[in-house]
Chain A
Amino acid sequence: QVQLVESGGDLVKPGGSLRLSCAVSGFNFGDYYISWIRQAPGKGLEWISYIGSSENIVDYADSVKGRFTISRDNGKNSVFLQMDSLRAEDTAVYYCARDQAPSAMSWYFDLWGRGTLVTVSS
């Protein structure tokens, strides 16, 4: 089955850390760019990071740069998001999403996971 499944969301205190995982199945994971996109409660969507087919191709939104780190393990068909120095404004559902174009970049997202909730609160 073609799918992305996020996990790792939790309640964490401000300043804390969390690691999210995105497990991929049903397609050739190594061919695709994967992004993390978040949605704060009742709000719109915010792209925060992507990783290319190799780990040296990454980028981040300014809102998370220097605090979040994206990585991937092609052997485990997984993408990870290490989140450090968390703030209340990081509270959101975090989705991983697949780029529409294999072996290229369309920067549109044709497959999304169901999301994992991260709550940052004391």
Chain B
Amino acid sequence: EVVLTQSPTTLSLSPGQRATLSCRASQSVRRYLAWYQQKAGQAPRLLIYDSSNRASGVPARFSGSGSGTDFTLIISSLEPDDFAVYYCQQRNNWPLTFGGGTKVEIK
């Protein structure tokens, strides 16, 4: 199965700062990667699919890029509502797999 490794595990930033999250796949997943946001006690929310497409209603400050094995989620200017855990997920190979998550916390 494809192993997705997210880094860093924790990112400590202040509101207004830029967040850069990484997801590395153990083998190529082409562009078939998504990003989800999960706040404490809530279900995940789809942010980005197919590497760079924003899901419905997702603010433009969220952007995704990458292909093959290396992917990046950027939050251009952190809002208070953005402090959460972010997961990547691939759909190129079966079974579907998720990364271990990156927690974006307030510094």
Contacts and interface: CB of A to CB of B under 8 A. Distances in A.
Interface stretch (B19-27, B62-70, B76-84, B92-100): B92-100
Interface of A: 44-47, 59, 61-62, 95, 97, 100, 106-110, 112-115
Contacts of A62: 95
A36 to B, nearest CB: 12
> Of residues B42, B56, B91, B99, which shows the largest number of chain A Cβ atoms within 10 Å of its Cβ?
B91
Contact of B99 (A44, A100, A109): A44
Contact of A100 (B46, B87, B95, B96): B46
Contact of A112 (B34, B43, B101): B43
B87 A108 contact: no
Given A61-B95, A108-B34, A110-B56, A44 B87 contact: yes
> Of residues B44, B87, B96, which shows the largest number of chain A Cβ atoms within 10 Å of its Cβ?
B96
Contacts of B13: none
Given A107-B91, A108-B34, A110-B56, A47 B46 contact: no
Contacts of A109: 36, 44, 46
B97 A114 contact: no
Closest 6 CB pairs of A and B: A107-B91, A112-B43, A45-B98, A47-B96, A108-B49, A108-B34
Contact of A45 (B44, B56, B94): B44
B55 interface: yes
Interface string B39-50: 000111110010
Nearest to B4: A44
A62 B49 CA distance: 25
Nearest to A115: B43
A95 to B, nearest CB: 6
Contacts of B87: 44-45
B89 interface: yes
Contacts of A108: 34, 46, 49, 89, 91
Contacts of B100: 44
B10 to A, nearest CB: 14
Nearest to A43: B100
